[in-house]
A and B are shown apart, each in its own frame.
Chain A
């Protein structure tokens, strides 16, 4: 069967599965809509959290980023997993005991203030929309690459599917589709990884193949370690060694911390822990979540290294005409471009940009059959542009894997994008229907009315997210730093102190949140949008990049709240009693209806 047909079959089959689950898990109450009734098993919640957390970017782009930046990419690997340790020990069990529906719920109640609640709602909406636009776009791109439909139509199909199970099934529908989506995406990621590992090192596990010796084409051991070979290849081409970094230590430190605390503070991740029945389940569930995530996160660096070696050995100094078919296919898709600067008919992969900017094709073909470019060439010896997403997207072809593996990767990419989008959309809709409408504007709204409002809010959020997916603001890629930086500098400290520091009052919390938020926001906006030409280490404060500034914002948040709280009245006795209560597991019922 041809790849195209198989891909339709796999992606279509996965959609049927998701819709079936949605119909089976329709909901009738707000409690089911917001937190799946509080009855999700810790393992199911772990898998759902993993799918929720791992976005199209984790699935498609991360291995490629690692392949091209080596040690520097460790910030993502450590940052996006280490946050679960913080979540498991510092936040999840206590928030589960508190037993409400949303993150603004906790902040509003614990700090006895609707101002705090509103600030939290604004942060939730901003952080989540930033993220979700990228996911919708990701769905569209996967469709475009594998099914040859227009990106916009891909976004629209994604919207319809998410609409179906998010509006119908709320958190319950989302939870069980996410479990299914996790299975699809992890299978789709690990199958090519195992194939590659066996092919290159003879190891079944990519995690051990990563540190093993390479096999030659006949399958004999060459005695050369993969990473030694990789360091040698990239340094010969003029890059810095794969296993050592180029970023300053302070920047690596701050970025890792911002990603960790941001992960722990992201509302769509926190809210997943409201869905398990008991406090002890919340602790165990964080372990399951990290286990499921770690399967992908420990394979990805191995995939990156395998693919980079493979790519260089296949492509570098090879005549264009004799390159494998995938090279030409992805050139036709616009992810590869070649400019034969030295006119030798061979492709050179040396360090440095081959030409200015992203490739712009003239529509004509050169003497070797390559697509000609209108970009101005640089003085670098490098001739080839390779989009990083290729590493995952083209891996099955690069490794000569069977056609069904390619189809599987497509279904996996769509699953990764849809699961994250759905989780974010639910957080947005509950912030509006629960924290704004029920808690502030219209407290006497009926259960039915609130459920209807939640569904409407979800529907509107999907339409807005779809709009941004079809008309992406030019800065989508650059604002990911926002989501983590803002979550780290606003939510993380406020929730942490709400649990561990009984004396913290509303004045301290609000002041801290605002300072952290405004500082981080301004720093990122300044270096990313106002003065992008200044965005280099010599202008950054203490050498901290905008990606890592959330950590400094978080420190400011802590300091300001502690100082302000010292000079203002302590919280009322009943609030201090609530804090006492959330610290012990006993008495946690299912998430409280109210």
Chain B
């Protein structure tokens, strides 16, 4: 039981990491590098959107990703009974 549960914990962790890293890739390499030209035709306030992602938006998104990861993992630790005592 314990072994199986640990494997499930690890799978859930990998799934979470994969989801968050897809977002990580999209906001930086996607919006900031590969799609920067088309996004630059959209203006938000004084920013071209692609430029904003490359110099501001991606960094904010990175921060949110880490916070979400830490929060979700703490919940996962308790759910699978592997948290630190």
Contacts and interface: CB of A to CB of B under 8 A. Distances in A.
A284 B72 CA distance: 11
A73 to B, nearest CB: 8
A287 B63 contact: yes
Contacts of B33: 74, 249, 252-253, 256
Interface string A574-594: 000000100111111000000
Nearest to B3: A580
A262 B51 CA distance: 24
Interface in A555-590: 580, 583-588
In this complex, the interface size class of chain A, counting residues with CB under 8 Å from chain B, is 35 or more
Contacts, number: 136
A585 B59 contact: no
Interface string A78-106: 10011011001110010000000000000
Contact of A82 (B28, B51, B55, B74): B28
Contact of B6 (A78, A211, A294, A584): A584
B17 interface: yes
Interface in A245-293: 245, 249, 252-253, 256-257, 278-280, 283-284, 286-287, 290-291
Contacts of A81: 58-59, 62
B78 to A, nearest CB: 10
B59 A77 contact: yes
Contacts of B83: 280, 585-586
A298 interface: yes
A78 B69 CA distance: 19
B62 A588 contact: no
A423 B72 CA distance: 31
B37 to A, nearest CB: 8
A226 interface: yes
Given A227-B46, A586-B84, A298 B58 contact: no
Contacts of A71: 36, 51, 54-55
Contact of A294 (B37, B60, B85): B60
A207 interface: yes
A257 B20 CA distance: 17
Contacts of B51: 71, 74, 227, 243-244
B6 to A, nearest CB: 6
A93 B24 CA distance: 19
A59 B31 CA distance: 27
Contact of B70 (A77, A207, A283, A580): A283
B43 to A, nearest CB: 9
A280 B77 contact: yes
Interface in A182-234: 207, 210-213, 225-228
Most buried by B among A207, A290, A580, A585: A585
Contact of A74 (B13, B54, B60): B54
Given A71-B54, A584-B6, A586-B82, A211 B66 contact: no
Contacts of B34: 249, 253
B29 A253 contact: yes
Contact of B77 (A253, A256, A287, A585): A585
A280 B73 contact: yes
Contacts of A131: none
A284 B10 CA distance: 19
Interface of B: 6, 9-10, 13-14, 17, 20-21, 24, 28-29, 32-34, 36-37, 40, 44-48, 51-52, 54-56, 58-60, 62-63, 65-67, 69-70, 73-74, 77, 82-85
17 contacts: A71-B55, A74-B54, A77-B59, A78-B28, A85-B21, A89-B20, A89-B21, A93-B73, A228-B46, A252-B33, A253-B33, A286-B66, A286-B70, A294-B59, A297-B59, A583-B9, A588-B84
